[in-house]
Structure 1
Amino acid sequence: MRGDGDGWVFGLDGARYWGRFGAAGLLLCAPVDDDVAVLLQHRAIWSHQGGTWGLPGGARDSHETAEQAAVREANEEAGIAASDVDVVEAIVTFQTEGWNYTTVIAKAPTLIATVGNAESAELRWVPATEVAALPLHPGLATSWPDLRPRL
């Protein structure tokens, strides 16, 4: 079902951004060995920035908080149930006039099984130490150095 947030907006610089009310993604982490792994989505080639690795996420609807949007999108794109995650914090990781992207950090007790939809070429739990080696979505690539210590 399409929400009222689906749609492109244009920043003052002329760049376009997905999400009429902003966007949010879920940075879900779980313990693995002596480290932490994060759930990444290999974005379908047809999608915006397709072929890169990013977070399950998308447009916020008018009635949602960033946390609600990120958890909803993770359910839609990765089959993650809201009851399986514990939201820790929300951080605006990109902002321009009238639009922002919020990264919502959440924890899971274990590596949860995932079920992708058409927006995902692949879903993968990646050790945090290996994330930067992947071809990341530009937004995640920019914010990862600040996000990594928060996990």
Structure 2
Amino acid sequence: MCPTTGPFVSGTVDDFRLLARTRLNAFPHTEVPDAPGIRRAAVLLCVVGQREGSPAVVVIKRAYRGRNAGQWGLPGGRLDEGETAEQAVLRELHEELGLTATPADLLGRLDDFPAASGFVITPFVAALPDAAELRPSPAEVHSVHLVELARLAADDVPHWVAPHAARRQPELGDAAAATIPEEVGLLQMRLGDGMTIHAPTGAMLWQFREVVLLGRDHAAVRVAHFTQPDWTQH
């Protein structure tokens, strides 16, 4: 029996796949309906096995050109005309990183995120056996980072700071961050040195962590209201 609550503790992709599918099937994700002016995009929280180390989620830093230059992100992008979100996210995964996934590799989805840029982003979750095929496109990807699931689930990763204190690589002391009430703060996912990620990407990583890795209560994990720094709104 796969647990519906509690942290993910297994070290295998197969066990993650079972847990994620179970928890995502039980998660009542929200969808943003079509409306004039809305543009659609899809991203993938892609978990891969590692030859040395535990399963990890793929995070990218975008190339220093074009839209979202130099920002942290997840594989994905805008939908082409006539394309579904599922089709788009699989295409973008291959174009950006050289990884091939099929619809059967998609384990479920999280909440649509209405970004301040005007895009509604649909996040999917997938699991692949390994990252051996990783071939990042230099035109779209500056660097690829494999964040182990244990790290993403660690207590010291999410921080809440005053919105005016956000910088591209902020490093506020823990005591300062702790004084900011969660409900009025801006989320920072501090995954490592020089790797502080805000919404929208940070919000989706946080929801993935809360829903899939930690099995938290659904009512407490909504993210559509999360504040975005000015530089992510383009």
Normalising by structure 1, we get a TM-score of: 0.73
How do 1:102-113 and structure 2 match up within 5 A? 102-113=122-133
| Long gaps (5+) in structure 2 | 1-35, 153-188, 214-234
Q: 1:85 to 1:108 in 2, by over 3 A?
A: farther
How do 1:39-118 and structure 2 match up within 5 A? 39-83=58-102, 86-95=105-114, 99-117=119-137, 118=139
User: Rg bigger for which structure?
Assistant: 2
Q: 1:67 to 1:81 in 2, by over 3 A?
A: same
Partner in structure 2 of residue 16 of structure 1? none
RMSD: 2.9
Size of the alignment, in residue pairs? 134
How big is the shift at 1:100? Answer: 1.3
What is the rounded CA distance, in whole Å, between the counterparts of 1:99 and 1:148 in structure 2?
Answer: 23
- Kept after mapping to 1: 8 A contact 2:115/2:200: no
| 1:51-97 alpha-carbon deviations (Å, 9 max, x no partner) | 22211111112322211111100100000112497100122331279
1:143 equivalent to 2:204? Answer yes
**Consecutive aligned runs of 4 or more in structure 1 exceeding 6 Å deviation:** none
Partner in structure 2 of residue 27 of structure 1? 45
Q: Which has the higher contact order (CA 8 A, sep 6+)?
A: 1
- Kept after mapping to 2: 8 A contact 1:52/1:135: no
**2:140 alignment partner AA:** E
- Kept after mapping to 1: 8 A contact 2:45/2:74: yes
Stretch deviating more after TM superposition (38-47 or 78-87) = 78-87
What is the rounded CA distance, in whole Å, between the counterparts of 2:115 and 2:96 in structure 1?
Answer: 26
| Long gaps (5+) in structure 1 | 1-9, 12-19
Percent identity, aligned pairs only, is: 31
Partner in structure 2 of residue 123 of structure 1? 144
Normalising by structure 2, we get a TM-score of: 0.49
- Kept after mapping to 2: 8 A contact 1:57/1:73: yes
**2:114 alignment partner AA:** Q
How big is the shift at 1:114? Answer: 0.9
| 1:96-149 alpha-carbon deviations (Å, 9 max, x no partner) | 798510011101122333111111001222213157422326311122221114
| More strand by percentage | 1
What is the rounded CA distance, in whole Å, between the counterparts of 1:85 and 1:37 in structure 2?
Answer: 19
Stretch deviating more after TM superposition (44-53 or 62-71) = 44-53
- Kept after mapping to 2: 8 A contact 1:92/1:100: no
